[in-house]
Amino acid sequence: MGEPGTRTPRERYRAQVQEEIKQHAWGQIATAGASALSLNAIARQMGMSGPALYRYFANRDELITELVKDAYRSLADTFAAGAEAGTGLDGLAHALRRWALEDPQRYFLVYGTPVPGYKAPEDTTRITAEIMAYLLDACAGEQSTPSPALRRALAFWTRLHGVLSLELAGHFTGMGLDPAELYADEVQALGTSWH
């Protein structure tokens, strides 16, 4: 499809319906998880037949792929804004946490338990390379060679995702700690461990 201003009315309508379908899908994911996603249930919610909805998304996996792409794109855009602002690793870390807390289901779709039977197409995961590139650039700015930068970026990524996953899944409840402080401590520890 062309640019938004050059699309035909039919193309604009199709894009609007696809966005509405995705919003209903996010609602289902929030209440029952991604593995329970049902195109027929979405069709009923929208007052359309199942076959009519399948004109917009051929199957569940195609819809999940679009949701995954949207989630990764959202995080890549968040990191791009942080990199443009020159926030460094600390800024990217806090941007990641804000992004995850803003919509935990989006976070879990891309970083949580895999959806049974779903495998993302190769082009879907290319955006993850863009996300990692922002981390590598931030790390390389503080290191002299790419190998230590890659190690630092991966340590940063895995440790922060560990804390975020536990926080979003509610595992800190009742422990008497502030997840934001724990996250900030982890960011600080990661920063000082490489100097």
Alpha-carbon separation of residue 72 from 20, 75, 97, 179 (angstroms): 19, 5, 14, 24
Distance of CA 26 to the CA centre of its chain: 13
- pLDDT tens digit at each of 195 positions of the chain: 455 568 899 999 999 999 999 999 999 999 998 989 999 999 999 999 989 999 999 999 999 999 999 999 999 999 999 888 888 888 899 999 999 999 999 999 999 888 888 888 888 778 888 888 888 888 776 555 557 778 888 888 899 999 999 999 888 888 888 999 999 999 888 876 655
Q: What interhelical angle do 179-192 and 146-168 show, nearest 10?
A: 170
Q: Determine the residue type at 182.
A: L
The dihedrals phi and psi of 133, each to the nearest 5 degrees, come to -60, -40
Name the pTM for this structure: 0.82
Cβ neighbours of residue 121 under 8 Å, at least 6 residues apart? 65
CATH number of 61-195: 1.10.357.10
What class, spelled out in words, does domain 1-58 have in CATH?
Answer: mainly alpha
Which string of DSSP letters, residue by residue, matches 140-163? HTT-SSHHHHHHHHHHHHHHHHHH
Residues of CATH 1.10.10 domain(s) within the chain? 1-58
Residue 42 and residue 6: Cα distance in Å, rounded? 29
* Buried/exposed 121-138: b ≥16 CB within 10 Å, e otherwise: eeebeebeeebbebbbeb
Say if residue 5 is exposed, middle or buried (CB neighbours under 10 Å; 0-12, 13-18, 19+). Answer: exposed
Q: Where in the chain is the domain with CATH 1.10.357.10?
A: 61-195
The label of the residue with tokens 């199709």 reads 14
